[in-house]
Chains A and B, each alone.
Chain A
Amino acid sequence: MEVSTVHDNEIDLLVASLAEIYGYDFSNYARASLKRRINRLLVIDRIPSFAELFYRIKNEPDYFTHAVEELTVNVTEMFRDPYMFKFIREKVLPVLATHPLIRIWHAGCATGEEVYSTAIMLQEMNLLHKSLLYATDINPSVIENIRRGIFPVSQMKQYSENYILSGGKKDFSSYYTAKYDFAKFDEQLKSKMIAATHNLVSDRSFNEFQLIFCRNVLIYFDKNLQDKVLNLFDASLETLGFLVLGAKENIRFSDIASRYVQSHNEKIWRKMQ
């Protein structure tokens, strides 16, 4: 069956209603991807028309929650781009190690695989006990996943490879207990995590950090929103703190760029003033 695809004016209508009824502002999301996500939602939920989708989102709060989860992208993995993590391990964490308390923010962290990756590195460097890892995302359900610390066991082979490439020396399987299709990660790893909902579009800075991760989130925003969010990070980052973006993301379109220096070859910027 060929499902009808949404038109631009329908997207405008949906975006306006989401803001008006639920206070979620998607107006500065990159349109090409948002459109794909809406079309995908029609397919996966077998909804025959935009009108029906629109009606359900407007009138069923539970469906709205589900829709936001599906419109936003929650794809992530442990130690994705392992050489970036190797750089964090070898060049960034030793700098942070000198602080009495290390504050790290994983913004838009989805189901939390990267937060666990960072916790593993901190533990191996004997820094976890004096660290705080804030993990935030727009979707409440994925935050729940971070608190549980349970991930699909089918991914562990890939994660183990990533971990080794990132400079990990241990047996990766020592960090989890496999049960049926799931891997439950060591409770110790989440002892310093604070998971909460936070909407980068509308919520404000809530603390100061030495290290902020926000990887493959800005790609879903237009340049204006990217700039706004980068300013939010700037306001949340100590001088000489580090900002880590996704492999193909950049701060070059933002006015904060002039005060940051990029670590060669990596999407890691240091705030110089």
Chain B
Amino acid sequence: MAQDAVRYKVIVIGGSAGSLDTILKIIADASMTNNIFYIVIIHRKTSAESVLTDLLASQTTLKVREVEDKDAILPGYVYICPADYHLLVEDQNTFSLDSSEKIYYSRPSIDVTFESVAEVFGDSTIGILLSGANADGAKGLSKIKQAGGYTIVQNPLTADVDYMPKQAIELFKPDAVLNGDKMSALLKNLSA
């Protein structure tokens, strides 16, 4: 694990129905160390915008920001994908947004961000796919694995909605399948 210590730069988390509690827990347990930044993509209605940012900000001392177009990528931040946009990374320093067609009836699409992060950050990526009733995210997570990143899927047996994690596990073998409450400890190990 030692050589992994400085390797990871980004933890990207995708979730849909039933994922919010796990995301809040992961962010609450996240610490400022090691120059890592987080990206959170949650399927949600267009209207409930800043509520999610405020909710996450209330759990952590990290800075929480809903991404705007061409925002700089900085360590120590939790970036939230805005509702009704796909979130891409332009390069290791810059986000960009895209309001093109929905994918699996979703915008944001977890696949889009996972694939983009995999391409730009490669094996510096930790990808996490959580509870949800949608096929989104499985393919993107497999791209993170192909790029040499570390992939974690929520245990379908304990996920609120098992469909999304199941899709990922059927598609490829993730590095870890875990209950939501065990994720923080693993992330701490991976990034310590």
Contact = CB atoms under 8 A, between A and B. Distances in A.
Interface of A: 30-33, 36-37, 73, 75, 216, 218-220, 222-223, 226, 246-250, 253
A107 to B, nearest CB: 16
A73 B100 contact: yes
B67 A36 contact: no
B90 A219 contact: no
Given A223-B70, A253-B70, A32 B99 contact: no
B26 interface: no
Given A33-B100, A250-B69, 8 more contacts: A31-B90, A33-B96, A36-B98, A216-B99, A219-B97, A219-B98, A247-B82, A248-B82
Contacts of A30: 88, 90, 96
Contact of B68 (A36, A37, A249): A249
Contact of B67 (A75, A218, A248): A248
Given A32-B89, A247-B84, A248-B68, A75 B99 contact: yes
A22 B98 CA distance: 25
Interface in B58-109: 67-70, 82, 84-85, 88-90, 96-101
Interface of B: 67-70, 82, 84-85, 88-90, 96-101, 112, 116, 120
19 contacts: A30-B90, A30-B96, A32-B88, A32-B98, A32-B120, A33-B88, A33-B96, A33-B98, A36-B112, A219-B69, A219-B85, A219-B96, A219-B98, A246-B69, A247-B82, A248-B69, A248-B82, A248-B97, A253-B70
A163 B107 CA distance: 21
A73 B85 CA distance: 12
B96 A32 contact: yes
Contact of A249 (B69, B88, B98, B120): B69
A226 B70 CA distance: 10
Given A247-B84, A248-B85, A249-B68, A220 B90 contact: no
B68 A250 contact: yes
B3 to A, nearest CB: 29
A73 B90 contact: no
Contacts of B96: 30, 32-33, 219
A139 B85 CA distance: 22
Most buried by A among B68, B89, B116: B68
A251 to B, nearest CB: 11
Given A36-B112, A219-B69, A250-B68, A75 B101 contact: yes
B45 to A, nearest CB: 12
A19 B116 CA distance: 26
B88 A36 contact: yes
A248 B112 CA distance: 18
A218 B98 CA distance: 10
Nearest to B49: A247
A247 B97 CA distance: 11
Nearest to B115: A36
A218 B90 contact: no
A246 B88 contact: no
B70 to A, nearest CB: 6
Contacts of B101: 75
Contacts of A253: 70
Contacts of A222: 90
A246 B70 CA distance: 13
B98 A73 contact: yes
A32 B69 contact: no
Contacts of B97: 219, 248
Per CB-CB distance, the 10 closest pairs between chain A and chain B, nearest first, are A32-B88, A73-B100, A216-B99, A33-B98, A219-B69, A248-B68, A219-B97, A30-B96, A32-B90, A249-B69
